């Protein structure tokens, strides 16, 4: 991919934002839902692409995706709530995509939340949320920038204060970034993190097992996009080791552990995404 190629939610890596929103929409309809995202269905469908509207629509593997996305969404929702209970009042969602946490979580007064993503992805989300009369439950700031560009400058320009403890989230992100950008991203997070800061990361480790998965091939056909090609092929050092190297206290939770803790049965028997990685949380 040429450096700094732009995309919207119907093209390039942007389409993965649409996919996650489609999964959150279906998760929200479940009797045993782990999250309720009232905007996910509109965000998933308004781009005009065919999206799955039932668990079986996009192949058997899609159920696994919904199970997993519901789990990861809840896990990070609760993590943000704990960070706020611990006194954090500044949050940054790196590659926010169609994330609606700014609108659906019970943020404490004065919480400032920065959403970083490509300009067209954020503009699409804004338009749909405005149509639905959505109002943020915090002080929300958009940072329309490519993470391969000077995003720290854009973040500061949007009002980010590096003197405040920050809760950073990297959900559905690192696997799409070139290794160099990923490595630099955590270095910058470390540099811009006051004591008391935290980070949560979805860490897709066993990328090959996902890439070779038949479910993914079936899903690619349905979405009309080669999903394998969206993942960065680059190897990179484990983010847990990198954060530990900066002196952060790191905790690793497997998908099975998280599923047990949050009461999510992995109905497909745990394959695809549920076997692809783990969740990291770290504090400085």
Ligand X SMILES: C[S@@+](CC[C@H](N)C(=O)[O-])C[C@H]1O[C@@H](n2cnc3c(N)ncnc32)[C@H](O)[C@@H]1O
- The residue among 146 and 190 lying less far from ligand X, judged by its C-beta, is 146
**Distance from C-alpha of 202 to C-alpha of 208, rounded to nearest angstrom:** 16
Does 121 help bind ligand X (rule: CB under 6 A)?
yes
250-279 mask for ligand X (x: CB under 6 A)? ------------------------------
Among the listed residues 37, 64, 117, 182, the single contact to ligand X using CB under 6 A: 117
Stretch that binds ligand X, among 12-20, 40-48, 154-162, 218-226 (CB under 6 A): 12-20
Beta pairing class for 249-254 and 90-94: unpaired
Size of the site for ligand X (CB under 6 A): 21
User: Cα torsion for 130, 104, 191, 252, to the nearest 10°?
Assistant: -140
Q: DSSP secondary structure string, 8-73?
A: -TTSTTHHHHHHHHHHHHHHHHSTT-S---TTHHHHHHTT-----SSTTTT-THHHHHHHHHHHHH
> Residue with the closest Cβ to ligand X?
97
14 belongs to the binding site for ligand X (CB under 6 A): yes
Q: Is 171 in the site for ligand X (CB under 6 A)?
A: yes
In the set 52, 165, 172, 277, which binds ligand X (CB under 6 A)?
A: 172
Out of 37, 67, 99, 278, name the contact with ligand X by CB under 6 A: 99
In sequence order, what E strands does the chain have?
A: 90-94, 112-117, 139-144, 166-170, 198-204, 249-254, 277-283
Residues near ligand X (CB under 6 A): 13-14, 16-17, 20, 95-99, 117-118, 121, 146-148, 171-173, 176-177
């Amino acid at each position: 991919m040429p450096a700094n190629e732009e995309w919207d939610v119907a093209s390039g890596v942007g389409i993965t934002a649409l996919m996650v929103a489609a999964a959150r929409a279906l998760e929200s309809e479940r009797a045993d839902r782990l999250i309720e995202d009232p905007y996910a269905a509109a965000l998933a469908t308004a781009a005009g692409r065919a999206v799955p509207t039932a668990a079986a629509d996009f192949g058997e593997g899609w159920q696994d995706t919904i199970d997993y996305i519901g789990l990861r969404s809840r896990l990070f929702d609760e993590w943000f709530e704990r960070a706020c209970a611990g006194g954090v009042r500044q949050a940054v969602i790196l590659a926010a995509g169609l994330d609606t946490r700014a609108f659906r979580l019970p943020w404490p007064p004065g919480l400032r939340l920065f959403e970083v993503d490509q300009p067209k992805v954020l503009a699409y989300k804004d338009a749909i949320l405005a149509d639905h009369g959505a109002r943020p439950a915090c002080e929300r700031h958009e940072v329309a920038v490519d993470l391969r560009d000077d995003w720290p400058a854009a973040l500061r320009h949007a009002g980010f204060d590096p003197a405040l403890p920050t809760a950073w989230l990297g959900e559905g992100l690192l696997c799409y970034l070139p290794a160099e950008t990923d490595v630099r991203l955590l270095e910058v997070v470390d540099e811009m993190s006051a004591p008391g800061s935290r980070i949560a990361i979805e860490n897709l480790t066993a990328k090959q097992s996902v890439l070779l998965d038949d479910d993914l091939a079936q899903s690619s056909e349905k979405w009309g996009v080669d999903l394998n090609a969206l993942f960065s092929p680059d190897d990179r050092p484990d983010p847990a080791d990198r954060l530990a190297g900066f002196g952060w206290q790191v905790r690793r939770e497997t998908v099975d552990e998280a599923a047990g803790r949050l009461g999510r049965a992995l109905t497909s028997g745990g394959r695809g995404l549920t076997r692809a990685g783990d969740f990291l949380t770290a504090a400085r």
